[in-house]
Chain A
Amino acid sequence: MTTARFPRVATLVFGFAFLYAPIALLVIYSFNASKLVTVWAGFSTRWYASLFSNTALIASAKISLQVAAISAIIATFNGTLAAFALERFGAFRTRSVFVGAIYAPLVIPEVILGLSLLLIFVALGVDRGFWTIVAGHATFTMCFAAVVIRARLAGMDRSLEEAAMDLGAGPVMTFARVVLPQLAPALVSAWMLAFILSLDDLVIASFTSGPGSTTLPMRIYSQVRLGVTPEINAMSSLLLAAVGLALLISAIASRKRDS
């Protein structure tokens, strides 16, 4: 049943305008010739050019991409094991502690997570840098990965696994030939989610980073505090384009799979 058309369409238009207008303005004004961010002075790509000569920004982008890729792999691995433990292992001692430790980081303010990680690294005498950021990111993103993979596991037909076992496949064989192919799409989306969350994180990175490991959000943040610049607009537009492209590819891939 579709209800009255006009109010519905008007709501959709207003809602999506609110969601997308700020992003659209940011992208449009990244092509502004003027240094004044809110006054249009003609089309130009000069800010993109100056972006690529900003070596500090590029170095930070590299660090962020590396941290995100590595921490997302750890998060997907840990998240998969955690999802199996939650979905398939039944009751075990201290299960409620484990459940709490998986779900709490999803909502706990990042400042608390960052602060507690910094304290443990100081207490253990670990020098903060690249690997402490990886550990911090892998920790909070594994919880998101576990939720995504658990949802897929819950929807899987277990009779397929039982059939494989009945036909003589061992647990490893069953996992590799039956479970893994069914789980693969969830593993890919869990990795992507972990990658993007890591790439985006400012707070936990600020607490866990050390000298020489400034991530891209930390670099952007310190520049944004000084004011809006067209160069940041250009940087942001590139990041938005990359995420948009990734979303488009995954949407097309899932449509192909479904049909």
Chain B
Amino acid sequence: MPRGGLARGRLSALAIPYGWLALFFLAPLALVAKISLSKSIIAQPPYEPAFRASDGLAGWLEKARMFSVAAYRGLGEDPLYLESYLSSLAIAGVSTLLALLVAYPLALAIARSDPKRRSLLIALAVAPFWTSFLIRVYAWIAILKDEGFLNHALMALGLIDAPLTIYATNVAVVIGIVYSYLPFVVLPIYNSLEKQDAALREAAADLGAGPLATFWKVTLPLSAPGVIAGALLMFIPAVGEFVIPDLLGGSDTIMIGRTMWNDFFENRDWPAASAGAIVLLILLVGPIVWFERRQTKGQGAQ
């Protein structure tokens, strides 16, 4: 078989999913890149140049000359986009750190439980992922509102006199993101903790390390791949999150997913939204490539 060649049966088995992804994922992304180089006009579709098969090659070349980087220049000049990127990265970053602080002890507690109960506990920790994301975010509105459950409870306990304003702030968005993405973080951390050999901890203890030193020097470093995987699995989609900032955030909560949504549906500035999407993709794909390289390097070393 020639290098890179496939038998006929395999070729057709590959062609179906490959063709599907080419049509509904790769081509659309290429189109986003193309439209980000177009000008915004008031028409249908609201951008120019629009390529049509009937134009022929000459027409296409003519239109390609109309490409402009105006949408990208616009991004740099539009404080809304710059602020959206920065605040999305900040909100997703803070949420990811908090989620790690919640998820790590939980994953550790599950990993150190009776082996017979472990699989049930981890299944329970992951189960909320299967339920509707929208509904889980919605549930927090009733909790965080000024007259919501949290304020009722805190006032009944006499901890506060006036209701706390949490709903419609960035704090609510962070709580919503931590809650919604927690299963994504718990699972990889649990997997790396569960694989650890208890004999390593016993050896550390025999050599005179206290429980804290054992944790810092043995348990935590060995679980680093799980922590990194969990953090990336959460951080990347959280940066582009739309539902949570829209439902729990206030009008001053600016996140890139929401800004692009508004540019698309309300301002109908498709080139700007497309350029925003391309920049976001580049920002997010960077860490994945880095993580992949790290993984393959780690495997090579073993």
Contacts and interface: CB of A to CB of B under 8 A. Distances in A.
Contact of A112 (B51, B128, B135, B277): B277
B13 A25 contact: no
B32 A116 contact: yes
A112 B280 contact: yes
Contacts of A1: 112, 198, 201-202
B179 interface: yes
B252 interface: no
Given A19-B125, A110-B242, A89 B14 contact: yes
Interface string A17-31: 011101101100100
A119 B35 contact: yes
Nearest to B281: A112
B31 A120 contact: yes
Interface string B222-265: 00000000001100110111110011000000000100110010
Nearest to B152: A38
B130 A105 contact: no
B50 interface: yes
Given A105-B25, A202-B243, A116 B17 contact: no
Contact of B130 (A9, A123, A196, A217): A196
B302 interface: no
Contacts of B4: 91-93
Contacts of A7: 109
Q: Is the interface of A mostly helix, strand, loop or mixed?
A: helix
A244 B129 CA distance: 11
Contact of A2 (B20, B113, B138, B152): B113
B14 A109 contact: no
Q: Which of A37, A105, A136 has the most CB of B within 10 A?
A: A37
Nearest to B140: A22
Given A98-B21, A251-B123, A22 B240 contact: no
B139 interface: yes
Given A1-B202, A81-B14, A240 B135 contact: yes
Interface residues of B, number: 90
A102 B264 CA distance: 26
B284 interface: yes
Main secondary structure of the interface of B (DSSP, over half): helix
Contacts of A25: 139, 142-143, 149
Contacts of B285: 104
Contacts of A98: 14, 18, 21
B20 A228 contact: no
Given A89-B10, A115-B32, A221-B134, A109 B179 contact: no
A19 B21 contact: no
A200 B132 contact: yes
Interface in B265-290: 270, 273-274, 277, 280-281, 284-285, 288
Given A89-B6, A120-B28, A120-B31, 15 more contacts: A12-B109, A12-B121, A19-B124, A22-B136, A26-B139, A81-B14, A82-B18, A107-B236, A109-B237, A109-B241, A112-B277, A117-B24, A119-B31, A139-B21, A225-B246
14 contacts: A11-B105, A18-B182, A22-B143, A78-B16, A79-B17, A85-B18, A117-B24, A123-B45, A139-B20, A142-B17, A200-B134, A217-B132, A221-B134, A240-B132
